[in-house]
């Protein structure tokens, strides 16, 4: 199955909401958190998403509609 690496950036109003959990429940996507930093007012998470390309695209559209910033990552996310 295809694997896509992304970064999610959360604003204050979304910090406590389980968006990643919801993504995995609403769509046929396996999420793997690789790095994260969450503070009182914002946070970011680096994820690997595994699923069909169509399902990943649909899931990322939904995440964006929730107000989460999404950007793609190329290369090895643990290297630096």
Q: How far apart are CA 23 and CA 76, in angstroms?
A: 23
Asked if the model's pLDDT at residue 76 lies above 90, the reply is no
Closest to 31 measured CA to CA, from 11, 66, 9, 3: 3
Task: Report the CATH fold assignment for 3-72.
Answer: Alpha-Beta Plaits (3.30.70)
pTM > 0.85: yes
Concatenating the DSSP letter of every residue in 8-43 gives: EEEEGGGTTS-HHHHHHHHSS-EEEEEEEEE-SSEE
Asked if the model's pLDDT at residue 79 lies above 50, the reply is no
Going by pLDDT thresholds of 50, 70 and 90, the confidence category of residue 74 is confident
The strand pairing partners of 70, in sequence order, are 8
């Amino acid at each position: 199955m295809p694997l896509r690496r992304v970064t999610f950036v959360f604003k204050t109003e979304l910090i406590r909401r389980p968006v990643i959990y919801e993504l995995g429940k609403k769509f046929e996507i396996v999420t793997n958190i690789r790095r994260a930093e969450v503070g009182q007012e914002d946070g970011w998470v680096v994820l690997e998403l595994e699923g069909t390309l169509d399902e990943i695209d649909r899931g990322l559209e939904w995440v964006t509609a929730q107000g989460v910033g999404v950007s793609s990552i190329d290369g090895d996310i643990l290297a630096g």
